[in-house]
Amino acid sequence: MLHAVQSEVSLRPETPGDAAHIEALLDHAFGPGRFVKVSERVREFARFRPDLSFCAVEAGKVVGVVRLWDIHIGATPALFLGPLAVHSGRRLDGLGGRLVQHAGEAADALGEGPILLVGDAPYFERFGYSADPTGGIRLPGPVDPRRVLARRASGPMEGPVRA
Ligand SMILES: CC(C)(COP(=O)(O)OP(=O)(O)OC[C@H]1O[C@@H](n2cnc3c(N)ncnc32)[C@H](O)[C@@H]1OP(=O)(O)O)[C@@H](O)C(=O)NCCC(=O)NCCS
């Protein structure tokens, strides 16, 4: 009798050797529009945090990614989350959620402050992200304010997003 083997997906910090695989995954997940997003403008000046960026790996293949970056919102240090992507063949199985929560917990463990992102509230709200505190935040390009979400804000956040 044959038994289906459920392969394990593990999360680990991103390493430089993952770069090409992640690029392929992001192209696959977002298509050519990925470079015109306002989040991409943020990532042009933000400092990448490899220690807070994670790959989901299954049978040696990168099937998911979440990246975090150092930013300031006005004078306040914060993190910026994105991109988040899961391979289309591995979606709807909780992997995106695992990546978002793992990155948040890793940031908490280091005593980091709020995490900002631009994304769909109906998805990210379940992980504690909300547009409530973000009305005063200015991003480097036009964006629907309902998509500007933050986690662990201690109150309303104000000012430009900068390096
Ligand atoms: C968004 C994404 C990372 C989710 O990955 P995933 O592994 O499928 O996520 P999870 O399994 O944790 O969550 C799935 C649930 O979220 C819901 N969901 C997924 N994307 C959603 C969205 N944009 N808005 C609202 N709900 C969403 C699914 O319907 C599913 O709901 P259910 O639990 O009621 O069945 C994945 O769809 C993806 O890579 N999309 C393309 C890239 C992208 O849009 N990234 C986010 C940028 S802001």
Please provide residue 22's backbone torsions phi and psi, each rounded to the nearest 5 degrees. -70, -40
**pLDDT score at 5:** 54
Q: What SS3 class is residue 85?
A: strand
Q: What SS3 class is residue 57?
A: strand
**pLDDT score at 104:** 98
**pLDDT score at 7:** 72
Mean pLDDT confidence for 102-130: 98
Write b or e for each residue in 149-163: b if 16 or more Cβ atoms lie within 10 A of its Cβ, otherwise e. Answer: bbbbbeeebeeebee
Q: How far is the CA of 95 from the centre of ligand 1 (A)?
A: 9
pTM for this structure? 0.96
Cα torsion 147, 152, 155, 158 to 10°: value is: -50
Superfamily (CATH H level) for 11-162: Gcn5-related N-acetyltransferase (GNAT) (3.40.630.30)
d(CA 85, CA 11): 13
Mean pLDDT confidence for 125-144: 98
The percentage of the chain sitting over the pLDDT mark of 90, rounded to a whole number, equals 95
Q: Give the number of the atom of ligand 1 that is nearest the alpha carbon of residue 119.
A: 48
Q: How far is the CA of 96 from the centre of ligand 1 (A)?
A: 6
**pLDDT score at 6:** 58
pLDDT, averaged across the chain: 95
**pLDDT score at 130:** 98
Mean pLDDT confidence for 79-89: 98
Q: Where are the domains of the chain?
A: 11-162
Q: How far is the CA of 92 from the centre of ligand 1 (A)?
A: 7
Task: Ligand 1 pocket test: pick from 58, 66, 88, 91 the residue with the most ligand atoms within 8 Å of its Cβ.
Answer: 91
